[in-house]
Structure 1
Amino acid sequence: MPSPSKLLVLYTGGTIGMQQTASGLAPASGFEARLRSQQALETGRQLPSWVFRELLPPIDSANMSQSNWLAMAAAIRAGVEQDGCDAVLVLHGTDTLAYSAAALSFLLLDLPVPVVLTGSMLPAGAPGSDAWTNLFGAMQALQQGVAAGVQLYFSGRLMHGARVSKLGSETFDAFSEPPRQRLGVRAGVTPANLDYRQPRQPVSLAVLPFYPGIQAAQVEALLASGVRGLLLECYGSGTGPSEDAALLAALKTAHARGVVLAAVSQCPHGHVEFGVYAAGSQLASAGLVSAGGMTREAALGKLFALLGAGLNQAEVEHWFALDLCGERAD
């Protein structure tokens, strides 16, 4: 892939640019000057020319929301379409980095330039920090050529944006692509109503894990809150409390009124295949659609992108079951 002629560095906040305050580390502006000063000290690296944009206010990624995802996608589109950037580097906090990488993977379908996200476990300038290593490593990877699409760079590795999860809270190699089985058919050409030019709106979504003792009334209350999509984290290959008639009835009722019900596996290396167990078949008959081997982050981001584009329940279920950017199939 060609080297970028103009890189957009999009700063959203996160640990990488945090400063110490009386109450602890907090997001801070002014990172462009720090970045340029540090780059002047980086000898021996071949890095692309870049422009800097900052989403204000910078946030701790623990406060990430759908509105922030939409703002990032809009800033990236503007950088490409209006400013002539041919690559993008997003600086982001690590707590929700994998969620944002997944969401952007689906919000930016068919964007003709590479988008790489990175961050750090320690702030830039802190003793032993991984901040500059990750940031300049991501820049160097882009300089060497990265394919169009969304990826995450961390601890020396480029990872697929819709397959990565944060697996550690302290180690520098905190992110990985869990080796899940990928089950899905390629969608082929991205439909016009799902490509990166398509406007999106926030949508009410929820994630709920099955666990021993879950009650139908709890599921009913969540479904009655106005959610348009519910991601259920099932056991193993897609099972759940199939002998709870009230719970199954609550799911069927919600599906009948248009709520999209999707299922991922709770297992880090798992995938959903409803027909393996009768308990899984019961969930499928209640209206759940399988996420295959998608991660929680990918399934949530995909539901957001599909429902946020205004698709109806049947359309969402159709595209959710197909592979759009490598999230379901190799």
Structure 2
Amino acid sequence: MASIHSTNSSRRLICCIGTGGTIASEPTAGGLAPTRQDTFFRRIRSHPSLTSPTSFDDSNVSFSSPVHAELVGKNVRYPRLVTPELDDQGLSVEYEILDLDRHLDSSEMTPAEWNTIASLVYENWDKYDGFIILSGTDTLAYTAAILSFLFHSAGKPIMVTGAQIPLSRPRSDGWTNLLDSLFVTGTLDLAGVGIVFNHQVLQGARATKTSPNLFGAFTTPCVPPLINLNVKITYDTALSLPPRSSSPPPPLIPLLTTPTVLSIHIYPGMTGDLLEAQIATLPTCKAVIISAYGSGNLPINPESGVLQSLKRMVDKEILVVVISQCAIPNVYPLYTQGRTLLSIGVLPGYDLMHEAAFAKLIWLVSRPDLSFKEKQELFETPIVGEMSV
């Protein structure tokens, strides 16, 4: 697939949005923490694989040299950098780091932060040729999934990356993850949302975090990686991100920031009363993810009360979706349980990962322009290749 490589000799300009996370963590009295400071930029500025000497007018720039950052609202934009040559055509990439006003551990990520990230991408769409979101790994796949829906059909690449070991520590994988992200967004002719990690590009709405220890922290269990960035770069022939285009992003949808999507894990002994007790604690609930057994099986015997409880949820116009607890999921209405659930308006999650199901539901319930029936229909419609129906 040679055509995926850029034939444009001019440098592309990439915006790297820093949200914190492991990649930006520094030693503190309480341990490693993603506190916002210019040390993160200094590290990148000093790394020969990420920054060419041509980035600076002064060839004596060092780690301790002053940093002339610019305040953009509450956020900080650091001086523009240029990579060394990244491919055999001699292409290099210009990039700027735009740091959010507050760095956070990704376990603290909420739809409010997603709104902030999406707004920055949207507002800066015409200024840059692509975007990299620097994220903590715990919710990185959720962030990639929601951006996939918010920026579906947009004609530029948005890659999400991070690290298992901070840049501040020996053996950090963040260097190669960032370098690969710059290569993908800056030299390849593709668009869409992906995850760049451990020399792979994964489909943004298909990924899940499978290890807190392995450098290959993310996988897409139901589809192969889009790109393998090995000695020889290889591309999946069945799946691909769309090519770059002039297509603008769709109108930005502000996500509801009150809790709207409840996730419930089915286990032996689950009853309808237990399900409804959880719903009762969340009066703003608009959607429920049921993580069921196998191919979407639930206890539907009358004594458990589960089926009756799910029907009451649907009658209240709560989107109810069943996904599989299996590591390689596939929910399909083959057995009696599945067909019975369909008959009361419960939606099958097919091979959706939890991250994509959660993101798609938040995206849907945040759209007042859609009726309940339209939301149900759209949930069962693949939007960004997030599921196979």
Q: Secondary structure at the match of 1:80?
A: coil
Identical residues among aligned pairs (%): 30
State the shift of 1:199 in Å: 3.7
2:148 corresponds in structure 1 to: 105
1:215 corresponds in structure 2 to: 271
Q: Indicate conservation of the 8 Å contact 1:201/1:309, yes or no.
A: no
The partner residue of 2:347 within 289, 293, 297 is 289
Q: Indicate conservation of the 8 Å contact 1:101/1:151, yes or no.
A: yes
Tell me the amino acid that sits aligned with residue 331 of structure 2.
V
1:118 to 1:54, Cα distance in 2 relative to 1, 3 A:
same
State the shift of 1:28 in Å: 2.1
Q: Indicate conservation of the 8 Å contact 2:275/2:306, yes or no.
A: yes
The range that moved more, 24-33 or 122-131, is 24-33
TM-score (norm 1): 0.90
Deviation sequence 1:13-49 (CA, Å, 0-9, x none): 0000001122221112222333222233775545411
Tell me the amino acid that sits aligned with residue 218 of structure 1.
L
1:239 corresponds in structure 2 to: 297
Q: Indicate conservation of the 8 Å contact 1:207/1:231, yes or no.
A: yes
Stretches of structure 2 lacking an aligned partner (at least 5 in a row): 53-82, 225-248
The partner residue of 2:358 within 300, 312, 318 is 300
Give the alignment's Cα RMSD to 1 decimal. 2.0
Q: Indicate conservation of the 8 Å contact 2:109/2:139, yes or no.
A: yes
Q: Indicate conservation of the 8 Å contact 2:134/2:162, yes or no.
A: yes
Distance 2:138 2:267 in 1: 24
Confirm or deny that 1:78 pairs with 2:123.
yes
Confirm or deny that 1:7 pairs with 2:14.
yes
The range that moved more, 5-14 or 39-48, is 39-48
TM-score (norm 2): 0.77
Highest RCO, 1 vs 2 (Cα 8 Å, sep ≥ 6): 1
> How many residues in Structure 1 have an aligned counterpart in Structure 2?
315
Distance 1:231 1:47 in 2: 44
Confirm or deny that 1:40 pairs with 2:99.
no
Q: Indicate conservation of the 8 Å contact 2:314/2:320, yes or no.
A: yes
State the shift of 1:245 in Å: 5.0
2:322 corresponds in structure 1 to: 263
The partner residue of 2:338 within 246, 266, 280 is 280
The partner residue of 2:210 within 154, 161, 167 is 167
State the shift of 1:270 in Å: 2.1
Stretches of structure 1 lacking an aligned partner (at least 5 in a row): 182-193
Larger radius of gyration: 2
State the shift of 1:177 in Å: 0.7
Distance 2:372 2:180 in 1: 42
1:312 corresponds in structure 2 to: 371
State the shift of 1:146 in Å: 4.5
